[in-house]
Structure 1
């Protein structure tokens, strides 16, 4: 809901400004026309003569034979919001095209192969863009991050071995799928194809904040995954001192992650001074111990570096949650 004050020009012309968000959604510019209709209840309906942009639903991509390039381009088409992608094999071997399409389907939520021919595959988004809410995606990624940290500590404490650590690292692929699905939905809002209210938000500013929350979570998971892979290579080389400090650091970070997730879940903008004064400071203390260890044993710097970055991303999320709190306060004040 928007509130505007009526301006009177020349004593007889009543003027009111249109909401900027609404005008941008309809791609309105100076001199564009709108239709105003007085409804039976005497309310006023304003409709733009120029309709909103219509977006292409289908995209044709010709494979180049450069695997990494082809996958990046196809994923980008998915993120941009295309509902159907026709993958033309061109001069590439049929086996290559089949492998690329199967990899694309395995990396995404919703895409399925619906048609094949000798030289072309058609993949379509069959899940729609609202089968999983953005809020549910964020909470799922939070839970995965927390469990990865807990399981990483357990694997080290019990000498779980290389296989367990590599299994942990592979969970990153699930987070990538969830994140890409969420980013696809966010991109449709940013381009004006759907409205913020369609995915449960009141403004573009709120959508942007949650976009960054999801991005930060994805990056935190990436670094836990990197750490698990690297630890799988050097676990047997860690002495008791290194292992104990590493365990304490991971456990304090896991507790910090759980508190940040609870703060996000509350949606109440509750006070988080305790999280910063206790849990965050505990992480900083274990981090300092590790920094001192690395000074004399730089071979384990990768452990410190990855956990340092995870802590930073979680702190960024706390700041974003605070941003949401004040943004909602302003929106509510504007509506009252």
Structure 2
């Protein structure tokens, strides 16, 4: 982190105040005499100066050089990393003809990500561009979509256990990928906002708030993981005879866990600190019911019992992660409240 430069404010004329710009910054941004700069007042009282006055999204390119020895799995992870980091153009190139499996991996990446398309392709190069306008994908809408998918995943995972529906269980597991894609999108959108204050202004989303969306998205993605785990264990128990009362109790506990999750999302979208606090208190009853599921599991054979315990643990984790959402809500509301005004001499 650079050291702070202290500069005195000078008066110019009757009502104007001026301050000189750091030479390093001027050189780095190639500012010339009479060039315009943008001045943006931040909510915390700081003043942000940007050379980008056009409001046009900044373009960044990342290049990956590959060959026959390139680790395909690592390349996919690097492509996803570049996407999340906010690169708007990604080029994969080779000194010789691109291997077929590299081309396949690049296309797999565009299928996994949102807004990424192959726009140019030769024997030696593939260029992927971001065709999504960030302002058209508000972070709040993406979080809502994640919430809808995760809710349905949890409902269907428990339904798969109740009906011994292996196909439904596998379908839940596949939907986990949809949640991953949306979580990556939110991380990418936030990184674009961090790098471009004009985008933050266009989307009317302060950088601090974007950070909260990233945290909430990560938590929802973890809840999706546990829905997939419930579905996996449900598939493993498809041939096991289960008492109707026990199934009904697991179903009620699943509904209870989802109620905590829905309340947490409601507190987040309404910025309701009291609702967030009340929701945290609902976790205790859910934990008791999860312990009862695990206790009853001991009446089954060892292998089956383990699957029931795993299901119980995942239901409990849904409650735990939901209360984490509530804690983020409380922390964010407190941090954005207007501070008491006072003079600092």
Give the TM-score band, short-chain normalised.
Answer: 0.7 to 0.9
Matched, 1:291 2:297: no
Partners of 2:89 and 2:256 in 1: how far apart? 45
| Residue from 40, 48, 52 that aligns with 2:21 | 48
Q: Which residue does 1:101 correspond to in 2?
A: 106
Partners of 2:232 and 2:95 in 1: how far apart? 37
Indicate how the Cα distance of structure 1 residues 46 and 59 shifts in structure 2: closer, same or farther if over 3 A, else same. same
What's the C-alpha RMSD, in Å, of the aligned pairs? 3.1
Task: Report if the CA contact (8 A) 1:86-1:120 is conserved.
Answer: yes
Task: Report if the CA contact (8 A) 2:158-2:230 is conserved.
Answer: no
Q: Which residue does 1:183 correspond to in 2?
A: 187
Q: Which residue does 1:301 correspond to in 2?
A: 309
Q: Which residue does 1:127 correspond to in 2?
A: 132
Q: Deviation of residue 313 (structure 1)?
A: 1.1
Q: How does 1:12-91 map to 2 (within 5 A)?
A: 29-31=3-5, 38=12, 42-44=15-17, 46=19, 48-49=21-22, 50-51=25-26, 57-63=60-66, 64-89=69-94
Q: Which ranges in structure 1 are unaligned for 5 or more consecutive residues?
A: 1-26
Q: Which ranges in structure 2 are unaligned for 5 or more consecutive residues?
A: 30-57, 300-304
Aligned residue for 1:105, secondary structure, equals helix
Q: How does 1:1-336 map to 2 (within 5 A)?
A: 29-31=3-5, 38=12, 42-44=15-17, 46=19, 48-49=21-22, 50-51=25-26, 57-63=60-66, 64-89=69-94, 94-157=99-162, 159=163, 161-190=165-194, 192-194=195-197, 196-202=200-206, 204=208, 206-240=209-243, 242-277=246-281, 279-295=282-298, 297-330=305-338
Task: Report if the CA contact (8 A) 2:158-2:231 is conserved.
Answer: no
Partners of 2:120 and 2:9 in 1: how far apart? 44
Indicate how the Cα distance of structure 1 residues 203 and 109 shifts in structure 2: closer, same or farther if over 3 A, else same. closer
Indicate how the Cα distance of structure 1 residues 35 and 44 shifts in structure 2: closer, same or farther if over 3 A, else same. closer
Aligned residue for 1:262, secondary structure, equals helix
Task: Report if the CA contact (8 A) 2:89-2:129 is conserved.
Answer: yes
Aligned residue for 2:87, secondary structure, equals coil
Q: TM-score, normalised by structure 2?
A: 0.76
1:271-325, Cα deviation, whole Å (9 max, x unpaired): 4454344x43442232121232345533422212222222211110010011112
Partners of 1:210 and 1:35 in 2: how far apart? 37
Task: Report if the CA contact (8 A) 1:94-1:119 is conserved.
Answer: no
Aligned residue for 2:134, secondary structure, equals coil
Q: TM-score, normalised by structure 1?
A: 0.78
Indicate how the Cα distance of structure 1 residues 334 and 209 shifts in structure 2: closer, same or farther if over 3 A, else same. farther
